[in-house]
Amino acid sequence: MRSKHRPQRTCVVCREKREKRQLTRLVMASGRLQADPSGKLDGRGAYLCENPACWNAAGRATLSRALRCELHEDDCALLRQMTPS
């Protein structure tokens, strides 16, 4: 069987594997949390799926652990802004 080599990533909350383009990559770049739709930013990324429940559940603790750095209050506010509805 030929595989199609679609890159898969895991949502940090629900742990479901999805195609990369169905997830939003979050990166800690220059000390700030940023969404990285192009996937080109350097640094350790965390992926969240399209489910708003995952965004709501992805609090400071989850993302700090996934990104291996401390999230600030501003970053949490940004996360809330980016939450899909």
Site string for Zn ion, 2-31 (x = CB under 5 A): ---------x-xx-----------------
Distance of alpha carbon 7 from the chain centroid:
15
Site string for Zn ion, 39-68 (x = CB under 5 A): ----------x-x--x--------------
Name the residue among 59, 61, 51 with its Cα closest to residue 23: 51
CA distance 62 to 79: 12
**Which residues form the interface with Zn ion (CB under 5 A)?**
11, 13-14, 49, 51, 54
